[in-house]
Amino acid sequence: MKKPLINTVVIIGVGLIGGSFALALKKAALVERVIGIDLDSKNLELALKLGIIDEASNSLVAGLNQANLVFIAVPACSIPDLIKRIISHIPLGCIITDAGSVKSELVNVCESLMPPGIHFVGGHPIAGTEHSGAAAAFATLYHNRRCILTPTATTDQDALNIVTALWQAAGSSVEYMDSLAHDRIFAAVSHLPHMVAFALVHAVDRSAEEEENIMAFSAGGFRDFTRIASSDPLMWRDIALMNREALLDMLDRYSMEFNNLRDRIASSDSDWLEDFFKTSKRLRDGIS
Ligand SMILES: NC(=O)c1ccc[n+]([C@@H]2O[C@H](COP(=O)([O-])OP(=O)(O)OC[C@H]3O[C@@H](n4cnc5c(N)ncnc54)[C@H](O)[C@@H]3O)[C@@H](O)[C@H]2O)c1
């Protein structure tokens, strides 16, 4: 049997993302032992029962002193505080990496918290479902998905190579990206659509005050479009706050488009509407 790449991986936040990473590394036989840490002891028990982790720890510091790699998969806003609390228990040579969906502010803060000899690599797997917790984790979540890593000028090359190899072994193709560019891109293609879905559910629900049972008539369009509105509220609170500038910029652009569309409907501008929908269809059909 080949020697595992990592002896001890500590997963902090054994939910969909952390649990799936643990399962993927185990499946690829790249890790000897996985220790799980989670605020929710029931979730941790379940992770143990499902074989996602080999050992569970309700205490933040237990197990950390043996870690070769720490994978942090808790809501993004909590990550800096968490690192402050654990950093003195992390052995020299350890790699800390994360899965936070927002990178720029997070990477700056996390890097500033690393003492010499402990290496931080920012990451964001482009994979997920609208489900949460260890029960939602599965080993193939990252198959044929991208994982963005956001190295900086100070990122340790060996640490970056190891994190890259782990994500590749989990089935992902790894891309390196500047963290600010990452946040602008994901504000457009992920964060804005989620905000639109959240707002749409509210708008339709408010109409229910006038039209009873309106939700009972919701069919394909509304259901497909709003599936992502049932994503984890804490995670999305953190993303909205941590990617505020890029997201506000995208919301402003969207509002302009939307107000224009509204005005054209109000003025029954048939040609413009047809042209607008044709262009939308062409752009959407062009996405592979
Ligand atoms: N779900 C997605 O689609 C997705 C995709 C990419 C990245 N991410 C990122 O991954 C991270 C985790 O997301 P998830 O979907 O796995 O969430 P999740 O709710 O499934 O899991 C998070 C786990 O962290 C635990 N937790 C929360 N705060 C903690 C703390 N301070 N200390 C220890 N444990 C704590 C929770 O109890 C929970 O079990 C987030 O930063 C999110 O932005 C999520």
Smallest CA-to-CA distance from 112 within 138, 148, 80 is with 80
Q: How far is the centre of ligand 1, averaged over its atoms, from the C-alpha of 78 (Å)?
A: 10
pLDDT of 2? 60
pLDDT of 245? 96
Q: How far is the centre of ligand 1, averaged over its atoms, from the C-alpha of 235 (Å)?
A: 7
In angstroms, the CA 99 to CA 147 distance is: 9
Low pLDDT (below 70) residues in the chain: 1-4
pLDDT of 78? 94
pLDDT of 3? 61
What pTM, to 2 d.p., does this model score?
0.90
Q: Which H or E run includes 205? A: helix 192-207
In angstroms, the CA 69 to CA 159 distance is: 10
pLDDT of 61? 77
For residue 5, how many C-alpha atoms fall within 13 Å in the half-sphere facing its CB? 20
For 19, the token pair is 């649990």
Question: Could you count the other beta carbons within 10 Å of the beta carbon of residue 72?
Answer: 26
3-class state of residue 179 by DSSP: helix
Residue 31 · residue 54 · CB < 8 Å: no
End-to-end, the C-alpha distance of the chain in Å comes to: 40
Give the model confidence (pLDDT) of 251-287 as tens digits: 999 999 999 999 999 999 999 999 999 999 999 999 9
Q: How far is the centre of ligand 1, averaged over its atoms, from the C-alpha of 5 (Å)?
A: 25
Tokens 């690829």 found at = 28
Of 235, 237, 238, 239, the one to substitute when testing ligand 1's pocket (max ligand atoms within 8 A of C-beta) is: 235
Give the model confidence (pLDDT) of 71-89 as tens digits: 999 999 999 999 999 999 9
pLDDT of 181? 97
In angstroms, the CA 68 to CA 80 distance is: 20
pLDDT of 4? 66
Give residues (CB < 6 A) around ligand 1. 12-18, 37-40, 43, 73-76, 78, 82, 99-101, 124-125, 128, 132-133, 232, 235
